[in-house]
A and B are shown apart, each in its own frame.
Chain A
Amino acid sequence: MTSVAHAKPAGGAHDAHHAPMSFWRKYIFSTDHKIIGIQFLFVSLFFLLVGGLLAMQIRWQLGFPGKPMPGGGILPESMVSGGVILPEYYIQLVTMHGTFMVFFAIMPLLVGVYANFLIPLKIGTHDMAFPRINMWSFWLALLAGLIMLAGFFVPDGAARCGWTMYAPCSARPDLSGATYSQQLWSISIVVLGLSSVMGSVNYITTIINHRAPGMTWFRMPLSVWALFITAILAVLALPVLQGAAIMLLFDQTIGTHFFDPGAGGQPLLWQHLFWFFGHPEVYILILPAMGMVSDIIANGSRKPIFGYHSMVFAIIGIAFLGWIVWGHHMFMSGMNPTLGSTFMVSTLLIAVPSAVKVFNWMGTMWRGNLRFHVPMLNAIGFVSMFTIGGLSGIFMAATPVDIPIHDTQFIVAHLHYVLFGGSLFALFAAIPYWYPKMFGRMMSERIGKLHFFLTFIFYNMTFFPMHIIGMGGQMRRIYDPTIYDFLKPQQPINEFISYSAFALFAVQILFAFNFLWSLKFGKKAPQNPWEDNGMEWSLPNPAPHGNWDKTPNVYRGPYEFSAPEAGDKDYLPQYVKLPTDRDPIPAPLSAGGH
């Protein structure tokens, strides 16, 4: 096929501008967005492992309350006595599992990794608008993670009032039992907020001002749209959490009483501030996943995304509505019931754009020519699991039904369906998909497929039954369900969940092995292994420093799979110039170089 010209590998000449960099400047204190993205990847996968290990201990206790845990002997007596997890340690486990997973695993994996890695590549520019600030964003995130981890090693042990840190529990060491780690939690969050804001300033500015000629707003891939909107959410939401965390820190240290009713403070103020941040936060945790899944499903279906404009408006709609639903986390809080009614309305409405997205993904697959590579399998898994998670949300949105299920395992099931079934499956799709661009090699398809099927099965076995025990009334964060007569009959389900969870965790060894082994021994990647249309595939693998030596031009939208103009091929990249294409007109240039 000759009418589709392939761009010759164009990159690397940028290196000539710099003197050869030392190992430290190139790989450690790097300002290259791709290196920063990879740094986030390694650190965040580590914290994902930490979160998983904490979960295993939770599941041990819930499945086999009071039984000595294998390996429990290595933990100190203050946490695990005679191998048995203690109640005070159990509440640290649930708190830190949530904290690490939300703030140090999923958020940085989706945003820290993929906003950094993909944005400049997918919009056709050399790097972020502010590369040095970008570098700081990574180091601050790492610092925040280490501060949080330190909580396990200080006197009294880790923070323990739930990842939601409700006051007064979190403000009063005499009531929670922990002093230093609660303060470290607050400090870590403030530092992480700085990292997030710095990153978001970069993502927003770069996307607005640095798109290559021809990359109009409605030619941007949905992954970029999603990351853009996510960055706006982050830049506006994280500072509110920082303000709250600072007030909490002051309550914890210098004797203020912002959240202490004894001195005129208001416990509900913490909840409002936290959830005003917290709800946009959960959309930060899902939108990039949705965006990347869109790219991958279009690729796997060999068809344009169905309803591209609707998908963009749905992302914007979800983000906008996301600001006015926070009270749905507080229906039982003692907040004015009328306020509850208004939040119910906005919450039910936010189901609509999410539904639209699910239908559009299905529409993309409809009449496609489906390729079931590992990313596509995980992306389809995402759609099916996120649907369950989203639908289960409707139960709790209906306020009367929320009464029995709030703060039970039903909520835990819901949040894991959207965060694991959703976000993590999207990551299991995205990581192998852009792995060749990052490392120049392919992850193993065979191991990837086995990992997907086993994960999918054990994942559902672990989390679906949580809906049932939640309906049965099992409350959240309780150390031993069996002391309640009404929960004893459900204990076999808890055991089943725990066995499934252990299997689920064990299966992740496949992913870890695949990821690490392929770094050195994976098949060398062809330039465009997925036959995809994105700008990043015009570059060699791994992508060179500076990306393109000459800013590329963009000739079409991001999903022109099976377009008639593509001829024999079933894809037509954005960067390919057909004889019928004209060069786009760029904005006026500056006279000097940069």
Chain B
Amino acid sequence: MRWWLPDAGSTFARPIDTLFLAILIITGIALVVVEVGLVTFVIKYRARPGRKAFYTHGSTRAEVIWTAIPAVTMVALGLISNHYWVIMKDKKSIPPNAYHLGVHAKQFEWQVTYPGADEKLGTSDDFTVRNQLHVIVDQPTAVELTAEDVIHSFFVPEWRVKQDAVPGMHITAWFQATKTGEYEIGCAELCGMGHYKMRARVFVHTPDEYKAWVAQQAAGGSE
């Protein structure tokens, strides 16, 4: 049974999870203040014979305080968040040594194009595999997302990576896996009747394992 975010599997996971926790604490405090406040008031100020409500129209001081504190908190949150947002989504943040793969989403499968031995996409030794994403651990990887028909969304929970694949657009999403192992891609944008089964297997290899796998594909073998 899972009660929390998935195990961290990429370099993005730590900042995102930390930010998530920070927001949880801040909103948690606000929640406790409100809910405990409500319960306290419900008990303390319930009508009883002989009581009267306190006639007041408000307090400007209170308004200022409870406007300023949320405002300052939100601004701080925005600044911190934006720092990581730029790293994760801005094209200029993609590391120059990123290993590029092509991911073409269509109803209802993921077609992954690998650059082959020359490690360059768009050359003759590229090969495409259906529903299998193989990447190298600790290696910045960029997926060039395209879509054939409708909008899909590339999502690997452990990597904290999600990016819509839009027909007519070429969008790059990058990440760096930190743990070897097997994961799954789930499609995160309703794309038709087969949306639920648009699943691909993800393999994070050591560099040697990956090389071996590529060689096996070139030799015509299948996983």
Contacts and interface: CB of A to CB of B under 8 A. Distances in A.
Q: Is B one of A's binding partners?
A: yes
Interface of A: 87-88, 90-91, 94, 160-162, 166, 168-169, 172, 175-177, 261-262, 265-268, 301-310, 332-334, 337-338, 340-341, 344-345, 348-349, 351-352, 355-356, 358-360, 362-363, 365-372, 380, 383-384, 387-388, 391-392, 394-395, 398-401, 403-404, 406-408, 468, 471-473, 475-480, 483-487, 489-490, 492-493, 561-564, 570
Interface string B137-172: 000000000000111010101101111111111010
Contacts of A365: 38, 41-42, 45
Contact of B16 (A87, A349, A400): A400
24 contacts: A166-B150, A176-B150, A261-B169, A302-B53, A303-B54, A304-B58, A332-B162, A333-B164, A337-B91, A348-B78, A355-B30, A366-B45, A367-B45, A369-B45, A392-B27, A395-B24, A399-B82, A400-B85, A404-B157, A472-B157, A476-B188, A483-B196, A484-B186, A486-B184
Interface stretch (B3-11, B96-104, B109-117, B120-128): B3-11
Nearest to A310: B63
B67 A349 contact: no
Nearest to B71: A352
A403 B74 contact: no
**Chain A contact residues, majority secondary structure:** helix
A407 B77 contact: no
Contacts of A371: 47
B31 interface: yes
Contacts of A172: 149-150
Contacts of A177: 192-193
Contacts of A306: 56-59, 62
Contact of A367 (B54, B90, B107): B54
B15 A400 contact: yes
Q: Is the interface of B mostly helix, strand, loop or mixed?
A: mixed
Given A91-B193, A169-B192, A175-B150, A403 B162 contact: yes
A545 B219 CA distance: 86
A473 B186 contact: yes
A483 B167 contact: no
Interface residues of B, number: 89
A352 B74 contact: yes
A306 B41 CA distance: 14
Interface in B1-52: 1-6, 12, 15-16, 19-20, 23-24, 26-27, 30-31, 34-35, 37-38, 41-42, 45-48, 51-52
A266 B168 contact: yes
B85 A344 contact: yes
B179 interface: no
Interface in B166-213: 166-169, 171, 183-184, 186-197, 199
Nearest to A367: B54
A355 B53 contact: no
A479 B16 contact: no
B54 to A, nearest CB: 4
A448 to B, nearest CB: 17
Contacts of A472: 2, 4-6, 157
Leading 5 A-B pairs by shortest Cβ distance: A261-B168, A473-B157, A307-B58, A367-B54, A479-B196
B41 A362 contact: yes
A58 B27 CA distance: 30
Nearest to A301: B53
B30 A341 contact: no
Given A400-B81, A404-B16, A490-B2, A369 B47 contact: yes
Nearest to A559: B57
